[in-house]
């Protein structure tokens, strides 16, 4: 299990990332398994950057690991200089950092990427991929342990060219109409957990929080979409937003300086296999397929797993 972490190794240094192997800064260490950041983590990062990044000017840029960069506006090191950052937006599992002069940095961190907002004197880690130097001796860095994420530098009109950005469904925190939700589900025929984790019906949620949503809704994760009743679908839609709102507030409260805590330890079932269900006390079941964990309570979410 992994979570966004805030490293404070020196005054003014913040590291917001999701990584799985041990990382050290200022003598402090954090460990955790690779896990995709989802809406609660990215929402908190978005708000953090909006408080600190907006209005800052880029004075230089360096590309240290070009494999993660996709620039449709030429050499970012030349083009970005003199531009100022505007509002940061979260769109599903992407962060959009707007800049003056019709430029947008789009970050898709995937499993191992993250953003570092830190003093320039802070050591540059080997996993650092792109550095934008800001005024006041501050850096905005993209770090990625395995270079699995992507960092795009585009204009507004080129956002359509960012793979996957427009393939996402409405955001999990948006108000959604039930009939529209049901209609979006119609073209999918698989198990409801797999359908939801794709992000095309509801965006911003993935493996961990789909487990939590289905537990809250008391829906069996392997139930086929066609077999779900309207009552079950209503519960899934209602619980989606509720679970994410509550999780976001928990992450926001605990993120700053939480160097020794797992910021997903508050989840009720995900990655809690063998532990007692918080609702009924039965042991939580956990299966792993395609390197993805599914955690659920057989008593609260009854159903039958059918192998193909």
- Based on its alpha-carbon atoms, the radius of gyration of the chain, rounded to whole angstroms, reads 20
* Residues 57 and 139 occupy one common structural domain: yes
pLDDT at 161 over 80: yes
Residue 172 in domain: no
Last residue of a domain, one of 127, 146, 167: 167
Residue 302 in domain: no
**E strand or H helix at 63, and its extent?**
strand 58-63
* Residues 185 and 271 occupy one common structural domain: yes
Question: Which pLDDT band, with edges at 50, 70 and 90, does 306 fall under?
Answer: low
What are the pLDDT digits (tens) for 77-114? 999 999 999 999 999 999 999 999 999 999 999 988 88
Residue ranges in 256-296 assigned as alpha helix (H) = none
* Residues 156 and 251 occupy one common structural domain: no
* Residues 9 and 137 occupy one common structural domain: yes
Q: How many residues does the chain have?
A: 308
* Residues 29 and 152 occupy one common structural domain: yes
151: CATH = 3.20.190.10
Q: Return the structure tokens found at 202.
A: 């509801």
pTM of the model: 0.85
Residue 303 in domain: no
What residues make up the domain containing 82? 5-167
Residue 308 in domain: no
CB neighbour burial string for 230-264, b if at least 16 within 10 angstroms, e if fewer: eebbebbbebbbebbeebbebbeebbeebeeebbb
* Residues 49 and 161 occupy one common structural domain: yes
Last residue of a domain, one of 167, 201, 224: 167
Residue 173 in domain: no
Alpha carbons within 13 angstroms on the beta-carbon side of residue 154 total 17
* Residues 157 and 182 occupy one common structural domain: no
pLDDT at 26 over 50: no
Alpha carbons within 13 angstroms on the beta-carbon side of residue 210 total 24
* Residues 206 and 153 occupy one common structural domain: no
* Residues 208 and 128 occupy one common structural domain: no
pLDDT above 90 as % of the chain: 76
253 vs 251: CA distance, rounded Å: 5
* Residues 233 and 287 occupy one common structural domain: yes
Residue 80 in domain: yes
Q: How many domains does the chain have?
A: 2
What are the pLDDT digits (tens) for 182-239? 999 999 999 999 999 999 999 999 999 999 999 999 999 999 999 999 999 999 999 9
Beta strands 69-71; 150-154: pairing state: parallel
Contact 244, 267 (CB under 8 A): no
233 vs 182: CA distance, rounded Å: 8
* Residues 194 and 118 occupy one common structural domain: no
Residues 6+ apart with CB under 8 A from 187: none
Question: Which pLDDT band, with edges at 50, 70 and 90, does 259 fall under?
Answer: very low
Last residue of a domain, one of 167, 197, 230: 167
pLDDT at 2 over 80: no
Residue 306 in domain: no
CB neighbour burial string for 177-214, b if at least 16 within 10 angstroms, e if fewer: eeeebeebbeebeebbbbbbbbbbbbbbbbbbbbbbbb
């Amino acid at each position: 299990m992994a979570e966004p972490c805030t490293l404070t190794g020196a005054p003014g240094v913040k590291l917001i990332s999701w990584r799985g192997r041990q990382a050290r800064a200022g003598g402090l260490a954090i460990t955790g398994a690779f896990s995709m950041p989802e809406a609660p983590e990215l929402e908190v990062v978005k708000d953090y950057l909006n408080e600190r990044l907006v209005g800052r000017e880029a004075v230089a840029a360096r590309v240290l690991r070009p494999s993660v960069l996709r620039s449709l506006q030429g050499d970012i090191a030349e083009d970005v200089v003199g531009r100022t950052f505007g509002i940061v937006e979260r769109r599903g599992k992407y962060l959009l950092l707007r800049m003056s002069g019709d430029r947008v940095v789009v970050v898709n961190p995937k499993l191992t990427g993250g953003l570092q907002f830190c003093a320039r004197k802070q050591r540059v880690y080997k996993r650092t991929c792109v550095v934008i130097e800001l005024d006041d001796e501050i850096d905005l860095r993209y770090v990625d342990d395995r270079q699995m994420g992507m960092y795009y530098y585009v204009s507004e009109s080129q956002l359509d060219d960012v793979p996957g950005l427009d393939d996402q469904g409405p955001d999990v925190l948006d108000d959604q109409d039930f009939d529209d939700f049901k209609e979006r589900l119609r073209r999918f025929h698989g198990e409801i957990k797999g359908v939801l984790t794709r992000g095309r019906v509801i965006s911003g949620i993935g493996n961990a929080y789909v487990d939590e949503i289905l537990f809250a809704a008391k829906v069996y994760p392997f139930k086929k979409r066609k077999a779900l009743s309207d009552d079950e679908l209503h519960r899934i839609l209602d619980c989606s937003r509720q679970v994410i709102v509550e999780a976001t507030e928990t992450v926001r409260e605990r993120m700053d300086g939480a160097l020794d805590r797992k910021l997903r330890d508050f989840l009720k079932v995900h990655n809690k296999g063998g532990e007692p269900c918080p609702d009924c006390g039965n042991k939580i079941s956990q299966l792993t397929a395609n390197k993805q964990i599914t955690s659920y309570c057989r008593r609260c979410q009854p159903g039958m797993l059918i192998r193909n």
